[in-house]
A = this chain, B = another copy of it.
Amino acid sequence: MPDKIVKMGRASNGQRPVMIAIAGDSAAGKTTLTQGLVDALGSERVTAVCVDDYHRYDREERKTLPFTALHPDCNFVQIMEQHLQMLATGQPILKPVYDHSTGSLVRPELVEPKEFIIVEGLLPLSTKLARACFDVTVYLDPIEEIRREWKIARDTKKRGYDRAQVEAELDKRVPESEEFIHPQRTFADIVVRFAPIPGRNDPPETPLSAELLLRPTVRHPDLSEVFKVVDGRAMHLKLRRDEDGRPTDALHVHGYAPSADVEVLEKAIWADMSGEDTVPTGLGMLGGDVRNEPLAVTQLLLLYHLLEAAR
């Protein structure tokens, strides 16, 4: 059965799997972004791997250690590199499993590479060998205020912590987040920032906007035709410098634009990128029935890169 899956993945594109990295701090939105890509491509074509499973210590052991789970010394980084190389060359791995609900390291699981491999986690871009495995790399960089809200909401609902515990953990992690997580931003082809638009006083229920830095480290789709037919209220593209001075395109997708407008826009982008009329389903979902259009546009762009790399 495992062999069959490997062969399916290989047969369908006749080459090695396509790999994307989605890096970012805890609760930056990695799993949500990943889920839309899996739904759009179909789980039979996608292997999703969370590299936070490579924790070296369980939650109990970490209590006595001078660093948090963000620190490379707290993870089997060399084994992560080895397993990413295995997957990139089409080989299965026996992946460790960290149970977030209990904080324990448990029985490992067999992971077979399919046609596409999505690798998300805290440190997938932390070493050169790991980075060399990916066709396209993403760093999720929501503004800190938003990420704290997201982490508090998730860890109190799903991981059994109370609000004060999560806030204490967030504070404790600041130095290691700055030292080990944030530097991965520089290695991403695409940096995604979810935030309200500065300077506007949108009501709090307004969906968040997204700013996507499309760096010239990979070839992005040509959106010039799209911008001829949509107006700048929903989305616009600006040439600018990144915080380190490097030239980049910045694509702004506005959360306050009417959904109907953004859907027209998504169709135009997808048709232009793929030549197909029907936008994949499952994009932009935040959980339940809530949809965020800037997230959907982000996922569309990533789908473009995955499908391009598979050609």
Contact = CB atoms under 8 A, between A and B. Distances in A.
Interface of A: 2, 56, 58, 76, 78-79, 82, 86, 91-94, 96, 104-108, 110
A20 to B, nearest CB: 23
Contacts of A96: 94, 107-108
* Total copies of the chain: 2
Contacts of A91: 82
A197 to B, nearest CB: 45
A86 B2 CA distance: 21
Contact of A92 (B2, B79, B86): B79
Which of A82, A86, A96, A108 neighbours the largest number of chain B CB atoms within 10 Å of its CB?
A108
Contacts of A94: 76, 79, 94, 96, 108
Contacts of A79: 92-94, 110
A106 B76 CA distance: 17
Contacts of A108: 94, 96, 105, 108
25 contacts: A2-B78, A56-B110, A58-B107, A76-B94, A76-B110, A78-B92, A79-B92, A79-B93, A79-B94, A79-B110, A82-B86, A82-B91, A82-B92, A94-B94, A94-B96, A94-B108, A96-B107, A96-B108, A104-B107, A105-B107, A105-B108, A106-B106, A106-B107, A107-B107, A108-B108
